Homo-oligomer: A and B are copies of this chain.
Amino acid sequence: MSTSWPGNPLKNIQSPPPADIEINQGVEPIPIKDLCQQVGVKDDEYELYGNYKAKLKLEILDRLKDQKDGYYVVVTGINPTPLGEGKSTMVVGLTQAMGAHLRKNVFATLRQPSQGPTFGIKGGAHGGGYSQVVPMEEFNLHLTGDIHAITAANNLLVAAIEARMLHESSQTPAQVFDRLCPKNPKDGKRTFSKIMFRRLKKLGINKTDPEDLTEEERARFAILDIDPTTLTCNRVIDTNDRFLRKITVGQATTEQGHSRETQFDITVASEIMAILALTTGLEDMRERIGRMVVAFSKNQVPVTADDLGVAGALTVLMKDAIKPNVMQTLEGTPVIVHAGPFANIAHGNSSIIGDKIALKLVGSEGFVVTEAGFGADIGAEKFFNIKCRYSNLVPNAAVIVATVRALKMHGGGPEVQAGIPLPKAYIEEHLPLVEAGCANLQQHIRNCKKFGVNVIVAVNKFTTDTDAEIELVKKKAIEAGADSAILCEHWAKGGAGAADLAAAVAAACEKNRKEGSNFKFLYPLDIPVKEKIESVCKNIYGADGVQFSELAEKKIAMYTNNGFHNLPVCMPRHICLSATILN
């Protein structure tokens, strides 16, 4: 689209690279309004948040609805280890190479990091070395407030649930009805608000004047009768605060003994974060928020945010969060940072809206490189089976990141601890450990191939890796079916260090488009829940079968009875691990 896509190769690269922060602050970013113009965003289609961040309006999708999408690339990794494989750094380095070196139109699309890990041992998620998002403090801290908006919306919802349970327990149905639908002080008349008609419809009450409801109908309308043991929505906070993992709330005397055990979750693990990542627009988000099942009634009827009448307020709190954020890399190539659901419990991918806008902006010959959280088992499986299913976007290639160090660990290398010097095996050549660890990489390659995508293995070079170790990884990757395996040095050299990878990815994408995509999901939506779970466990985790506990059987039955059986399955990490044990 644009003939002058932003991208400036780094100059004065030092070896070894200085500290991340020194590199990050040593670059003068392009004013983000200039960058927006350069990628074809019109003046009234973005909103600045300071000089280096902007939000993109969803109207871009309307304007470009006839534009053909660019190539779509997902970056995933081998099983994560404390040593890190550098997936985010790889996405940044690959797009720097594509944009500033191969001079292609390109966007990286990343998740917004949580402040929990940022202030913990893990640190920020802005990349590293000469492949970073700038300015790192904007990226890692508040960004434009999206996670804060989710916190506010989620906690308003929980406060509404708690207050409702208290009122229902301390008032008669008629009193609760009065509270929800009071007489207007001026004319003494009651009216239903717009949102209430959703609940009336659900109850099959076809009346528009509150006064026409019978006593029994008023009670059904007003009383949600929530079973507190079924609450699925916890309060959230974006701080790593271990003392909130198990708490008791409602201990003030004003709460009349309605205390209960609960917990705070980290904000990025909330359902509203998952909604932000999956939604396709404001109206869709409103509907998804309204459908959220927050608990079940004592009669096992799902209770939703719409039943509570708060979905409109939550949507208002999220009205800016839905707009994707634009930043840039060290080499001035554009990055969308939007949504950040945790992969261990949610689907672990950045937003569909961000990817859709980026795919239009880069044009049909451009590239969008996104990251799937965690390893290819958890993150990429959900990218394919969940994100791509909802977005209708078809990936042209998958990049699997591997490091010699992490493979050595998977191969049985000694334990590693933060703050303790690395054992010798990780800093000296050790081919047997690498070879043993390649079993992990090979399984991920085979897993990705099951979705019908081309796989490029990117070996992220650490300074201590030897040539023989790297050659071994490449050989093993090709053996397992990878379309290519490329050494990358973007950490040490910026985009220039990933130029070979960029060329290989571009070639794979072009070949894929020319030959036609073989992309497929692992399972269709219209099979029973158990079969979907079995499909993931067998295909991805190598399980021979799945045993369902009594609780699991009960929950699956309840979900099925309530019509949730036609959704894709999103399996949290610990379920995956339990499944693996059956192998």
Contact = CB atoms under 8 A, between A and B. Distances in A.
A158 interface: yes
A159 interface: yes
Interface stretch (A233-241, A290-298, A371-379, A557-565): A233-241
B248 A152 contact: no
Contact of A238 (B48, B152, B420): B152
A254 interface: yes
A384 to B, nearest CB: 34
A55 interface: yes
Interface in A291-330: 313, 316-317, 319-320
B248 A320 contact: no
Nearest to A187: B421
A256 to B, nearest CB: 11
B241 A159 contact: yes
A171 to B, nearest CB: 14
A548 interface: no
A247 B245 contact: no
Interface in A139-168: 141-142, 144-145, 148-149, 151-152, 155-156, 158-159, 162-163, 166
Contacts of A255: 242-243, 245-246
A49 interface: yes
A425 interface: no
Most buried by B among A50, A240, A421: A50
A191 B460 CA distance: 31
Contact of A145 (B142, B159, B162): B142
Interface string A47-89: 1111100010000000000000000000000000000000000
A252 B243 CA distance: 7
A238 B154 CA distance: 12
B239 A243 contact: no
A119 interface: yes
A241 B254 CA distance: 12
A239 B316 contact: no
A319 B142 CA distance: 11
Contacts of A182: 419
Interface in A386-438: 419-422
17 contacts: A47-B48, A115-B156, A141-B317, A142-B317, A144-B145, A148-B151, A148-B152, A155-B237, A159-B239, A185-B420, A185-B422, A242-B252, A245-B254, A247-B249, A248-B248, A251-B261, A252-B263
Instruction: Give the 3 A-B residue pairs with the shortest CB-CB distance, closest first.
Output: A148-B148, A246-B252, A48-B48
Given A151-B151, A237-B237, A243-B249, 10 more contacts: A47-B48, A49-B50, A141-B316, A155-B239, A155-B241, A159-B243, A185-B419, A185-B422, A243-B255, A247-B251
